[in-house]
Structure 1
């Protein structure tokens, strides 16, 4: 077979993609990893990671990603700063358009993740990892004994707020409207919790503390009156959902109503030889360790597929 046909290509360089790279590289499949729009995934913008096994003192998110990348490279994984423009999964080998060229591969591991939705404020972006977070289960512990804010009005926001009451002394749930998209049961739980205060008809205009590199408060605007105020909090959590990076596969793979790739037996898509792992198909857990686990599964499935189909 032609040397320019890859055994496997991995889309994404977060925990799932890098774990898949480690396993496929050790199997001598010489994987090509396309690092994507957000090299390193969400961990690359995370500070201290304390819940990844094997690091009793914790580890910085970017360092954990770099360690995994070096580990994969040691076994022969190749990395390219590129992202997928389009793909043709109807032909064999699969054709992947990365703009500058078209790659061909026998198998494909989609580990392109899900991007957190942000407000888009410059001050918010400057403080990601310094008091601004999109993951309560990742970072809630760091706000023990502090007052914080959660932004959003759906079930995601309610879940984040309720979880954060384990640590924070007060959780302000800020929503731009006076009615909520959340399910009745989740809204009732939030409203009944003594630590949660609902702040409606309100938007965040600025996150304070950019110069100090830590959140000092929020400048808010009431959408009904236009009046501005300062809310003194130590952290801001985004609860407005995630956007799975799978739009380029619409019509070729099965996606759910929110755009996540549907899988069977953990990582199998409806196209044989194409596997999805990590946050692009996991809307429930979204943890580094679960992403790594499904990355391992996808790699093992690739090995099995290539053995059965004559590598």
Structure 2
């Protein structure tokens, strides 16, 4: 028989948004249960140094997430190593099914499943992730001061990353598989005028080149998709900027979405189109995608859930339908 349990507040996801929501929900006496998901700790577990987390001049991404998890546990959140594979939000209490077979019911759910950077799928790309290959210029650009950098992509993300990286790099080469960019024209104009930027058209990344001792990127091999010829470009950093994909599969077709399947929330809140279902962090954020903004939204989601549950308790305990109608008018 499947394990069944109920909680006032179920948190799905364990990045900065999820763990922060867990801390605030625990302090609000909601007795939350947090299900960690496929990648406990989220995207920060795949980074090395983090230098833009307030209060830490420098901290290792995995260490920061271990501390967040410990904090959430210390204030009373129950953390479960399971993966939610289905979420029914058609009626309250909501019902979530875990990969373990466990069934979780909850009066409120906070979704904090994050977003995943899109990758090219190269073996060499995977081998050097965190050692010269990155998908976040804001996170890692600082480490390449005075170095030559390559950016892969042709949309807004790629152009914005390339322009941002000019603050640190001696040269930025933007590599795109076509001969025109998909980015907004104002961004293209800025890119083309920048003295540190060079564009390489009709080329695709074939291999990331590097060394193992110490581990790091030394260059890339690219292929001209017209002639098939390959060439090498020396660089210390490779930024894959082909977009992000929100991990919104659990609620596809169940809540309002926008900007390519990011969950839509009411402005200034974490409320989704389904009452009692809240969303926080990169799952909703197609603009900033930072650990600190995700943590802030996690706080908001817990406070929103606390308010929602308090209002539900008042409704459930009040037997006078006349007073409900009057209050609604």
Interval containing the TM-score (normalised by the shorter chain): over 0.9
User: What TM-score, normalized by structure 1, do the two folds share?
Assistant: 0.96
Shift, 1:101, TM fit: 2.7
Partners of 2:121 and 2:34 lie apart in 1 by 29
Equivalent residues, number: 308
User: What TM-score, normalized by structure 2, do the two folds share?
Assistant: 0.91
Shift, 1:259, TM fit: 0.5
Partners of 2:262 and 2:211 lie apart in 1 by 34
The equivalent residue for 2:162 is 161
Structure 2 unaligned runs (5+)?
A: 315-329
**Residue from 206, 215, 218 that aligns with 1:216:** 218
Shift, 1:94, TM fit: 0.2
CA contact (8 A) 2:176 2:203 kept: yes
CA contact (8 A) 1:146 1:233 kept: yes
Shift, 1:187, TM fit: 1.5
Query: Pairwise CA RMSD of aligned residues?
Result: 1.4
Shift, 1:156, TM fit: 0.7
The equivalent residue for 1:203 is 204
The equivalent residue for 1:35 is 36
Shift, 1:257, TM fit: 3.7
2:106 paired with 1:142: no
> CA-to-partner distance for each residue in 1:69-88, whole Å, 9 max, x for gaps?
00001112122222221211
The equivalent residue for 1:87 is 87
Shift, 1:125, TM fit: 1.1
> CA-to-partner distance for each residue in 1:220-254, whole Å, 9 max, x for gaps?
11111111111100001111110001122122110
2:263 paired with 1:269: no
Partners of 2:198 and 2:156 lie apart in 1 by 16
The equivalent residue for 1:258 is 260
The equivalent residue for 1:126 is 127
The equivalent residue for 1:286 is 289
Partners of 2:47 and 2:237 lie apart in 1 by 14
Shift, 1:138, TM fit: 1.0
The equivalent residue for 2:322 is none
Specify the SS of the correspondent of 1:215: strand
2:19 paired with 1:5: no
2:19 paired with 1:18: yes
CA contact (8 A) 1:130 1:214 kept: yes
Partners of 1:182 and 1:303 lie apart in 2 by 41
CA contact (8 A) 2:151 2:175 kept: yes
Partners of 1:17 and 1:112 lie apart in 2 by 8
Specify the SS of the correspondent of 1:20: helix
> CA-to-partner distance for each residue in 1:75-116, whole Å, 9 max, x for gaps?
121222222212111111001122313211110001000000
> CA-to-partner distance for each residue in 1:153-175, whole Å, 9 max, x for gaps?
10110000001001001000011
The equivalent residue for 2:243 is 241
Structure 1 unaligned runs (5+)?
A: none
Partners of 1:185 and 1:53 lie apart in 2 by 32
> CA-to-partner distance for each residue in 1:146-196, whole Å, 9 max, x for gaps?
000000010110000001001001000011122221222222211111111
Detail structure 1 runs of 4+ shifted over 6 Å in the superposition: none
Partners of 2:117 and 2:185 lie apart in 1 by 24
Specify the SS of the correspondent of 1:305: helix
CA contact (8 A) 2:5 2:103 kept: no
> Is the deviation greater in 38-47 or in 109-118?
38-47
